[in-house]
């Protein structure tokens, strides 16, 4: 629950105006779904380093069209959900989604690629 609140606050910080908490979900959910901040683009990657204590992972990734980003060798992402580290083992091939939220590249989902 605490984590949810923290993430919501982070998303909120990226918005120009943040309405009352009660309106928060209604306000942000549709924009996120339409691709304003989040992206459903599945990106190919390979885990370079996982740092659960820092909520961070470094990923060698292919092109990220939604972010207009060329492939990179070791790009750090903020991991919003610690449970994702189950899929983030150094050397492991993954498919992931990401979004730039309040200026930070956030790893939204990750799954092992087989």
Residues that bind Cu ion (CB under 5 A): 69, 72, 75
Considering only CA atoms, which of 13, 43, 5 is closest in space to residue 104? 13
E-strand stretches of the chain:
43-51, 56-61, 72-79, 93-101, 104-112
CB of 23 to Cu ion, least distance (A): 34
Compare residues 28 and 80 and give the one whose CB is closer to Cu ion. 80
Compare residues 45 and 87 and give the one whose CB is closer to Cu ion. 45
CB of 8 to Cu ion, least distance (A): 25
């Amino acid at each position: 629950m605490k984590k949810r609140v923290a993430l919501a606050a982070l998303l909120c910080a990226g918005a120009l105006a943040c309405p009352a908490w009660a309106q928060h979900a209604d306000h942000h959910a549709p924009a996120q779904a339409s691709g304003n901040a989040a992206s459903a683009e599945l990106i190919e990657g390979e885990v370079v380093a996982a740092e659960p204590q820092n909520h961070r992972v470094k990923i060698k990734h292919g092109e990220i069209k939604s972010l207009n980003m060329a492939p990179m060798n070791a790009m750090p992402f903020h991991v919003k959900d610690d449970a994702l580290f189950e899929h983030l083992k150094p050397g492991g091939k993954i498919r992931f989604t990401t979004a730039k939220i309040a200026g930070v590249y956030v790893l939204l989902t990750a799954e092992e690629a087989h």
